[in-house]
Structure 1
């Protein structure tokens, strides 16, 4: 395989997918599995594309180059196993992830995700699927926080299904429309924002209630 092809993963995603699918056949499914396993399972691989790759891959399935059902199955499995491995890494490292002694952990991204976790609790694992970077750090923090495994897996698995199937099939149905293809990043950001609005509203309501209760208690 021409490894320079992987540069297209960041510059020309559709060409990357079509070339591997046409030249190497079933290897495309292994490649997609590994990308999403690494992106969700290893924090130093958080730079790998997630949302945009899923959407474009969905658009490519509409051409017949990739089977959408096999694609969604292998990517969902990769995302679930990646989260699980990341969770156990966090469980093993414990609170050492916060003291800055582990050089390969991005403390800024970790702290951002930690605040997200404090705001949303266990739902962070589900919601993080739709937020780049946070998606990769959420399982690590959940493991370090000793979240019950079954609770973690429930949020992880349901989040993976909604995230993967939603974006792949949205790409399959709409990805080849010129307007959507040309404004993909903006559309994805808007979608993420809309998905988070209800949760942010609930969090804001809880915050205001706590602030009001604290003010009344001080009087």
Structure 2
């Protein structure tokens, strides 16, 4: 229950969570930020961790305070941590998929890995190739499944690593600097929870649209497939 409450509080208010960590010191805070981003990216069982909002909140604490001119988290220390976590996490997840992926899927233990999400991830890989590894980094759930599915599919490690590193560095830098530059704006400070919800919704929107298109696309294709099947049967006869 303790871990579940920790995750729920982190999802609800990452700013308050980081503020509590900072009371323990800069090093433990950076360690926890690294750990959460690494787990979201590197362990296929935890796709629901709030990577985007955590980076934004961390960037906020790296911005100098308007009254004192100092920052709770030095940006020079924060950036290397958030750069390393997704890159190392992707490598871990790729290797899990490469060596244990089929067994994990067949076991059904990863409830978040629904057939629709697997199909969407595989469709991105089929359409974009290794570029899908870069693009998938910006979609919650997909960024956790992408390296895993890449490992299963047999994508070459060098190609995967290049696009994975590029995606991880771009994603972590973008969301951290968004918090750094915009987190201290009074509107953002006064409506931080709403901003976090907006970030989550914007991040999830492409995934939701993709799932809807996939679902209705299958329905619209069904009559065509039936017709093609009938024509094939007639030709065979």
TM-score (norm 1): 0.77
Q: Could you list the per-position Cα deviations for residues 35-81 of structure 1 after superposition, in whole angstroms to 9, with x for gaps in the alignment? A: 11110011111111111111111112114111122112112111111
Q: Give the Cα–Cα distance (whole angstroms) in 2 for the partners of residues 137 and 6 of structure 1.
A: 20
Task: Answer yes or no: is the 8 Å Cα contact 2:94–2:150 preserved in 1.
Answer: yes
Q: Give the Cα–Cα distance (whole angstroms) in 2 for the partners of residues 44 and 186 of structure 1.
A: 25
Q: Report the RMSD for the aligned CA atoms in angstroms.
A: 2.5
Q: Give the Cα–Cα distance (whole angstroms) in 1 for the partners of residues 196 and 19 of structure 2.
A: 18
Q: Give the Cα–Cα distance (whole angstroms) in 2 for the partners of residues 46 and 114 of structure 1.
A: 17
> What's the counterpart of residue 104 of structure 1?
110
Identify which range, 116-125 or 74-83, moves more after superposition: 116-125
> What's the counterpart of residue 11 of structure 1?
12
Gaps of 5+ in 2: 66-70, 207-237
Task: Answer yes or no: is the 8 Å Cα contact 1:59–1:172 preserved in 2.
Answer: yes
> What's the counterpart of residue 135 of structure 1?
143
Q: Is structure 2 residue 69 aligned with structure 1 residue 57? A: no
Q: Is structure 2 residue 40 aligned with structure 1 residue 28? A: no
Gaps of 5+ in 1: 195-219
Q: Give the Cα–Cα distance (whole angstroms) in 1 for the partners of residues 23 and 199 of structure 2.
A: 29
> What's the counterpart of residue 73 of structure 1?
80
> What's the counterpart of residue 227 of structure 2?
none
Task: Answer yes or no: is the 8 Å Cα contact 2:101–2:148 preserved in 1.
Answer: no
Q: Is structure 2 residue 119 aligned with structure 1 residue 118? A: no
Larger CA Rg, structure 1 vs 2: 2
Q: Give the Cα–Cα distance (whole angstroms) in 1 for the partners of residues 125 and 174 of structure 2.
A: 23
Equivalent position to 1:149, from 144, 152, 157: 157
The alpha-carbon distance between structure 1 residues 189 and 7, as it changes in their structure 2 partners (threshold 3 A), is closer
Identify which range, 78-87 or 110-119, moves more after superposition: 110-119
Identify which range, 152-161 or 17-26, moves more after superposition: 17-26
Q: Give the Cα–Cα distance (whole angstroms) in 1 for the partners of residues 6 and 104 of structure 2.
A: 34
Q: CA deviation at 1:19?
A: 1.5
Q: Give the Cα–Cα distance (whole angstroms) in 2 for the partners of residues 171 and 143 of structure 1.
A: 32
Q: Give the Cα–Cα distance (whole angstroms) in 2 for the partners of residues 93 and 191 of structure 1.
A: 29
Q: CA deviation at 1:185?
A: 3.3
Q: CA deviation at 1:167?
A: 0.9
